[in-house]
Amino acid sequence: MKKIRLLIWFVMIIFLAGCMQIQLWDGYKKKSNPNCVWNLDRIVNITWEIYITPWNFESYYDSLANTQSGLKIQVYEFTEKRIRELIKKLAKKWTDIKIIIEDKKFQQYRNTYKDLLALFSGYQNIQIKSDKQMWTEYIHSKIDLLDDSFWIKTNNITASAWKSSREYMFHSYDIWIKESLDKVFDKDWMGEKIDTKDIHPNLLICNINCRDWIESILKWANESIFIQTQYITDPSIWEILKNKNNLSWFQIIVANTDDNSELLSYFWPKKVKKLKKPYVHAKMILIDNKYLILGSMNLSENSLDNNREIWIILIDQYLINKFKNQFDKDWNI
């Protein structure tokens, strides 16, 4: 009897995983699985979540600590001491660990890539690579691939990400998206070309399918645009936003830096806000309160056209509301 119950639970889990395809996005139309009758909101809390910093370090740490067979990290910067020590502990348990990290960061003199090589030397099951084999300008993506789940984040693995920055972290157990991320990571690891068929419909992978999609979704907005990002410097994105200035709801929150002075002067404070604290390192776009895009990409030419960046497209209303509530709080500070 016990075996039968376990079998029933296993079948239900597979069924629910199939229903996750309800959230697919392809060609600006939702694809739904007609065999699924579950309401997505009923299962959302056990399948995925958005965490907002500055807080929630424990959720991230614990998920990494619980992985056993393998851990893949692709990140621009990695200086968080607690996660570094955790990597050592996992290695001692014979977890297979692969890290791809930028070795020539923009206007930064510390070479974290070399630091990690030295720190983890002697651990046979920790492998570290830069993006040299990838032929990208920067490896700027921020993902973690665990045994049965994944993280897509706006933040690097640094202490400031959890202490003083506004960041968003998406954690999910979706097996199809994880399979796609694994394929992207593995091809980056080997220096192989990523094909569009490798990319799940919910994923944006720069420099492959980002620019056309982002420009199209911004042009397509007919009710509202909410953006929370470090800065906006891409000329094409600028022109699109200028043409969308008359939307009923149009608000942009950016970091309090000189890069955003022109943005503020053009759109005025009613449309754009420079947030002093916490520091805005987020990279978030919400279109028509229906399509939420979360990931590593700044709205710059380099990010769109030259870097490895990874975003995910979310249409779940629970996640959208969670972001919008935080956005409104930041806007009203």
What pLDDT does 45 receive?
Answer: 45
Q: Which of 100-104, 267-271, 274-278 has the lowest mean pLDDT?
A: 267-271
What pLDDT does 36 receive?
Answer: 33
223 lies in some domain: yes
CA angle 294, 300, 301 (to 5 degrees): 125
CA angle 151, 96, 199 (to 5 degrees): 40
Report the domain count for the chain.
2
Of 198, 224, 254, the residue at which a domain comes to its end is 198
| Predicted confidence (pLDDT) per residue in 91-101, tens digit | 999 999 999 99
Q: Do 269 and 153 fall within a single domain?
A: no
Contact, 42 vs 122, CB < 8 A? no
What pLDDT does 24 receive?
Answer: 42
Quick check: 329 pLDDT over 60? yes
Of 198, 213, 237, the residue at which a domain comes to its end is 198
Q: Do 156 and 262 fall within a single domain?
A: no
| Predicted confidence (pLDDT) per residue in 233-272, tens digit | 999 999 999 999 889 899 999 999 988 888 888 887 789 9
Q: Do 274 and 180 fall within a single domain?
A: no
Number of other CB atoms surrounding residue 94 within 10 Å: 11
Q: Do 91 and 153 fall within a single domain?
A: yes
Q: Do 193 and 212 fall within a single domain?
A: no
What pLDDT does 123 receive?
Answer: 96
Quick check: 230 pLDDT over 80? yes
33 lies in some domain: no
Residue the block writes with tokens 């039968």: 4
Identify the CA nearest to 153 among candidates 292, 307, 282. 282
What pLDDT does 76 receive?
Answer: 97
Q: Do 149 and 237 fall within a single domain?
A: no
Residue ranges making up the domain that contains 84: 49-198
Quick check: 132 pLDDT over 80? yes
Q: Do 191 and 53 fall within a single domain?
A: yes
What pLDDT does 20 receive?
Answer: 44
Q: Do 232 and 169 fall within a single domain?
A: no
Q: Do 165 and 244 fall within a single domain?
A: no
d(C-alpha 314, C-alpha 25), whole Å: 8
| Predicted confidence (pLDDT) per residue in 165-215, tens digit | 999 999 999 999 999 999 999 999 999 999 999 999 999 999 999 999 999
Task: Sort strands 283-287 and 291-295 into parallel, antiparallel or unpaired.
Answer: antiparallel
10 pLDDT band, cuts 50/70/90, is: low
Q: What is the CATH classification number for the domain harbouring 259?
A: 3.30.870.10
Of 150, 167, 198, the residue at which a domain comes to its end is 198
